[in-house]
Amino acid sequence: MAVNIKWGHLLVLIFGGMIVITAIDFIRIINYAVYPMKPTERISLNQDRIYRELKDGKTDIDWSELDGTLEFISKEYDCSDFRFVNLIRILYEFEDRIPEAYLDRIKRTLYNFRYWWDEPGENSMCYWSENHQILFASAEYLVGQKYPEAVFGKSGLTGSQHMAKARNRLLDWLEMRWNYGFIEFYSEVYYKEDIGAMINLIDYAGDKEIVEKTKIILDVMFYDLAAQNIKTMYSSVSGRAYEGNRKGGKGKTLGGVTGYFWGSGDRIRSGMTHGLMYTDNYTVPPVLIDIATDTSNVIIKQSNGLNLIELADEGYFGTDNRSMMMQWGMEAFTNPIIVRNSLSHIRNCDLFSNEFIKDFRYIDFSLLKWFGLEPALVNYVNPPSNGVAIQRGNTYTYKTKDYSIYTVQKYHPGTFGDQQHVSGMNISNVTSIFHTHPAIEKDVARQSPNYWVGYGHLPHAVQDGRVSLAIYNIPEKKGLMEADLLDYTHAYFPAEMFDTTVVESNFAFGKSGETYCVFVTKNELNFRSSTVDDLIQQGKKTFWITEAGSKSEDGSFKQFYTRIKSNEFTFFQDDLILRYVSGGKTYELKFAEDFKINGVPVDTDYPRYDSPYVRAEMKDKTITYSFNGKSLRLDFENSVREF
């Protein structure tokens, strides 16, 4: 009896202690301050325009027009690192033009900036995505190099010490891109930011290794631009894409970069890529220009990035700076195998006050930490934030003179998607078409995922040649933290951009010039009320077939229409199996399982490169791009670039 009483007392003490610890944690958590991500009122940011004016020879510069830029940076609002790109170009090229008093103000702003997540201070800047990593490191390196003896207020380090610190991150970032490609693959938005950071290093860094390796990685990026563009329109599948990127159009030229180098030659628009126009230190290799303008029929296969399950084997699974650059560069935060690393990193760097990741506070309880329960918790809750993670993209692009059609093969079917774009088609450089499962209704405001950006739930999408298949398997019940669960999928299909449009039953045909396209679906297609570009297909277990065509391949549009209408297709809804017969091939796709052509399974796990222009395995020591009698040989380890 006495033993039972003692055990009872002990249990009461343990339970009471747990309540006290949790209560203390709760009080701490609700009292975290959160720093503003953006200014409450618009700040005028003119550094890009002023740099352009200086390069154009303007003499009467009103330097006070940089006030907004300096205020933005000093308040450490998100995307302050974007503002550094052309501010640094101004300092390196036109410092002698800046009035001394104003130059002192610029220096004070730069010396008191928090350049990386491990420095003292708190803010709501995003340090971690792939483009931000190189922007912060490039800025820190070049400001430190410019003012090596200055002591920086936030860190207490000298400029030279900041250079050394940033150099390590730069080399890590560049090596990751060499070995695995870009996490934010083919991003029409974020490649621009990468370019701004890299061209500054190429133009101003005094370290030969940094300069030459940066040139190599810029070449790697320019291959992506060349291989995925069509007639200067740069729109493809992507690790991160927004509405405009998915919808394409002649304006999608990476801020004018593609048009400048292999199009009309018009000036690049003011912005972070502006330095490409003025540099004397970087030349786009001629072979990449030829690849960009190639009009032959080509299949381009490529692997970009890593899957979460590959991180440990590749040496990126710790909480050291290099590992966190990879994990958070993938935007992997809450995923069960990552969440404890994320929490450890947030605690070490005082990031609970960062608006982007403030919600981590709600699982920052001591008992969860001590018993290692965070992975089990997020596995049970399965928050949509798990879908933010950008994992390996095995991309397939079929490109002709008339169109390109592209798919990320078998990209995590059924899971949440945030800004990924896994399937679509470009009709020349006129427009694009694609389908998606919207995460929220049309008029609900949210950056991503939303009605046109990302996915509520990803399809199982695959492609062979000019045929892309996709099965959607939308859950019956909404997830615990899911904003909405819509019971339809839809497609961007801009009728006003086509010469001819035919939407009948479960077919949607379009013709633009000599390019043809079609969607074939399980259920009837109808334009959303008051729209001529938004095709709705009701149903949670459905499919979309996208097929491309052209005058040179199919003859007339009528012949294309007749051929497609005669194709056989069957959908077994209970088993989620789609069969489609077209062009003499029988395609079979089973959701989350095999893709077969004529009964033979198709391997959709690709090497680093597999195209007529380049073949290479992941982490090869050298890469050679060849076409039209020209070549580019890259050797990253030895900083060799030959063309």
Answer whether residue 141 shows pLDDT above 60. Answer: yes
2 pLDDT more than 50: no
14 has a pLDDT exceeding 90: no
Statement: residue 3 has pLDDT above 80: no
CA distance 613 to 7: 73
Q: Do 571 and 543 meet the contact criterion of CB atoms below 8 Å apart?
A: yes
Query: Beta partners for 521?
Result: 544
What is the torsion angle, in degrees rounded to the nearest 10, for the CA atoms of residue 608, residue 610, residue 615 and residue 621?
0
Above 80 in pLDDT, residue 6?
A: no
Separation of alpha carbons 241 and 189, rounded Å: 7
Question: What single DSSP character describes residue 361?
Answer: G
- The residues with which 550 forms a beta bridge, in sequence order, are 515
Please check the confidence at residue 577 and state whether its pLDDT lies above 50.
Answer: yes
What is the band of 331 on the pLDDT scale with cuts at 50, 70, 90? very high
Question: What rounded mean pLDDT belongs to the chain?
Answer: 96
Query: Residue 4: is its pLDDT beyond 90?
Result: no
What is the pLDDT, as a whole number, of residue 274?
94
Locate tokens 């490609």: which residue? 181
Please tell me the chain's helix, strand, coil percentages from 3-state DSSP, rounded to the nearest 5. Answer: 40, 20, 40
Write the pLDDT tens digit of every residue in 161-173.
999 999 999 999 9
CA 427 to chain centre: 23
pTM: 0.96
Q: How confident is the model at residue 490 (pLDDT cuts 50, 70, 90)?
A: very high
Q: What is the mean pLDDT of residues 231-254?
A: 97
What's the whole-number mean pLDDT along residues 259-277?
Answer: 95
List pLDDT tens digits, range 351-407: 999 999 999 999 999 999 999 999 999 999 999 999 999 999 999 999 999 999 999
